[in-house]
Homo-oligomer: A and B are copies of this chain.
């Protein structure tokens, strides 16, 4: 496409918008994330000589065009909703405004990152909400879809309120608190469970011991035995339950620990957890102090994808649309205006940037002429605190894990509706 644009002399400014069309059945909102990686990518965008060599070998591209590609940089502007913002169908998350070939070349990466991180942040926000203040740790690097996802899942989960990650590389890369516990293999490698506990806990004061390798409650008894053996020097922060009936086992474990005077030892649970199971455990009053959440979070098992797109809405100053069945595009560059009622989101209008509409505009300028604007308020910590505020400002129906029949009100402004109608008539 880029070569065809160049061949036709089409170098006009294009506006592409990234948005999704429909909420999955099990989502009432989406939390936007991934912008930071998109901006890093655009700033660094260039073809390397080995890239150009591969393209040349395909026999599809003229030397003149390849020459041109070697000098391509991203020179455009980007507007976006800040990471951690809650968004709804058809609302632009990222808006790329650039010469059409540049904007087109960015498509795959922009969608890939905004999609993944928004899918995960949306899932993680639900899991964190269900845990009602108990800490949630990302435990899923092993089953995330590849190495990039393993990192981005840790990032997006933390953004959405998780307390940390077991992925040490992600912790290092994003400054997220790392959490680690032993695996069953560690216990298994010793002939005796108590010896394994002893070795690990002496090396790591304040650690967590995994108690379910052979028999959960006997494992708890071994921790108690170890505490007696060490007396005042005993310093274990928590035990972890990783199988069986976590509700019943957490209560029995709490009772045994308390009876032994180990009230300070916390209970950490993992194994097949998601927001529904965590909510059920909390409803049941289970004495669990923290949750390690893996697979269901890191692949967003109940909604692993959004129908996210990157669509041309304006070229060379004119609104652009398409009428493909079920996939109509609203033409023209947009802004989203969000109204609040006593601090609660009351409704959004998708309008033109210059329309006078009620509400706060959500999209802000984040890149100008290919340069990222001041990082003020774009740090991961700022996004995390924004995410918390956004969840707290949601209408209660949307926070419920039950499906709601009440869709959050999102209107399209008269200005955009008129433009769509005008383009529709012009096509007939």
Q: Once the chains bind, are B116 and A146 in contact (CB under 8 Å)?
A: yes
Out of B111, B215, B324, name the residue touching A323 (CB < 8 Å).
B215
Min CB–CB distance A266 → chain B (angstroms): 19
Q: Once the chains bind, are B150 and A149 in contact (CB under 8 Å)?
A: no
Q: Once the chains bind, are B16 and A185 in contact (CB under 8 Å)?
A: yes
Out of B145, B306, B307, name the residue touching A116 (CB < 8 Å).
B145
Contacts of A119 in B (CB 8 A): 145
Min CB–CB distance A107 → chain B (angstroms): 7
**For chain A, which range describes its interface: under 10, 10 to 19, 20 to 34, or 35 or more residues?**
35 or more
Min CB–CB distance A216 → chain B (angstroms): 8
Out of B3, B308, B312, B324, name the residue touching A143 (CB < 8 Å).
B308
List which A207-227 residues lie within 8 A (CB) of chain B: 212-216
Q: Once the chains bind, are B189 and A100 in contact (CB under 8 Å)?
A: yes
Interface string of A139-155 (1 = CB under 8 A from B): 00111111111111000
- Say yes or no: is A183 at the interface (Cβ < 8 Å to chain B): yes
Interface string of A104-116 (1 = CB under 8 A from B): 1001110111011
* Given A243-B327, A305-B295; A322-B204 close (CB under 8 Å): no
Min CB–CB distance A123 → chain B (angstroms): 12
State which of A4-12, A85-93, A414-422 sits at the interface with chain B: A4-12
Q: Once the chains bind, are A305 and B178 in contact (CB under 8 Å)?
A: no
Min CB–CB distance A47 → chain B (angstroms): 12
Contacts of A55 in B (CB 8 A): 168
Copies in the complex: 2
Min CB–CB distance A235 → chain B (angstroms): 14
Q: Once the chains bind, are B199 and A4 in contact (CB under 8 Å)?
A: yes
- Say yes or no: is A337 at the interface (Cβ < 8 Å to chain B): no
Contacts of A7 in B (CB 8 A): 199, 203
- Say yes or no: is A132 at the interface (Cβ < 8 Å to chain B): no
Residue with the greatest number of chain B CB neighbours at <10 A, chosen from A55, A186, A204? A186
List which A236-250 residues lie within 8 A (CB) of chain B: 242-245
Contacts of A413 in B (CB 8 A): none
Out of B104, B183, B199, name the residue touching A185 (CB < 8 Å).
B104
Q: Once the chains bind, are B112 and A150 in contact (CB under 8 Å)?
A: yes
Q: Once the chains bind, are A189 and B312 in contact (CB under 8 Å)?
A: yes
- Say yes or no: is A49 at the interface (Cβ < 8 Å to chain B): no
- Say yes or no: is A361 at the interface (Cβ < 8 Å to chain B): no
List which A304-330 residues lie within 8 A (CB) of chain B: 304-308, 310-312, 315, 320-327, 329
- Say yes or no: is A375 at the interface (Cβ < 8 Å to chain B): no
Contacts of A144 in B (CB 8 A): 112, 116, 145
Out of B148, B167, B200, B244, name the residue touching A147 (CB < 8 Å).
B148
* Given A299-B305, A304-B304; A108-B142 close (CB under 8 Å): yes
**Which residues does A use to contact B, with CB under 8 Å?**
1, 3-5, 7-8, 10, 14, 16, 54-55, 58, 60, 100, 104, 107-109, 111-113, 115-116, 119, 141-152, 167-168, 172, 178, 182-189, 199-200, 203-204, 212-216, 242-245, 295-296, 299-301, 304-308, 310-312, 315, 320-327, 329, 427
